[in-house]
Amino acid sequence: MSTQTINHGLGVTPEMIIAKERDSGDGTGDWAVWHKDLASGKYLTLNSTDGEDSWTDALFSNIDETSVDFGNDPDGSGIYLNGGDVPNNYIAYFFASVEGYSKVGSYEGTGSATAGPFIALDFAPAYFLVKSTGGLTNWQILDNKRNTSNPANDFLRANSDIAETSNYDVDFLSNGLKIRTTDGDYNTSGTTYIYYAVAESPLKTANAR
């Protein structure tokens, strides 16, 4: 079994990876998403509403899970591809939290609009991508360009080609986000949601709305 190291150049351990096999006729053709807060051996699919699925069912079956957990990669320099599909072509995007600029994380839903989760980012967000780890929920995209005041409720979906839609209130704050909806795409009680957020202004200079 051959092994190939894929260097990502972040200089730190990745916390989220979005990857796709480019060769036709092999693999599922899906955009597979690994995230540090998913269950061990699980991944999500960026182009679908599916919940967590087993590692062996798609593209990430070719990535050594212990290496993606970085047990063999203490300096965070790369990931390791293993097995017969190593010669195939892939594209991958690597993400890690940067203080005052971006954050990869997760939160638990409360199922309450009045007592919805507060997501502490330590910066005012400009972009927010979120997905439940459960099934039949969307990859919701919110930003501060289309919603210049609260609530932020104009969304797009990474898994769909639908036009912009307005619903499901979320507040963008100076230090994070407040979920003010019970919709399953944001706030089902007891459900884990993973996210990636980017700051409105780096270096902690953002102002409240």
pTM: 0.85
**Alpha-carbon distance 138 to 191, whole Å?**
14
115 or 75, greater pLDDT: 115
Closest-CA residue to 169 (of 113, 129, 93)? 113
Q: Cα(first)–Cα(last) distance of the chain, in Å?
A: 55
Tens-digit pLDDT profile for residues 123-175: 999 999 999 999 899 999 999 999 999 999 999 999 999 999 999 999 999 99
Q: Please enumerate, as own/partner, the contacts of 143-146 that have beta carbons within 8 Å and a separation of 24 or more.
A: 144/172, 144/200
Tens-digit pLDDT profile for residues 95-131: 999 999 999 999 999 999 999 999 999 999 999 999 9
Domain ranges of the chain: 3-95, 102-199
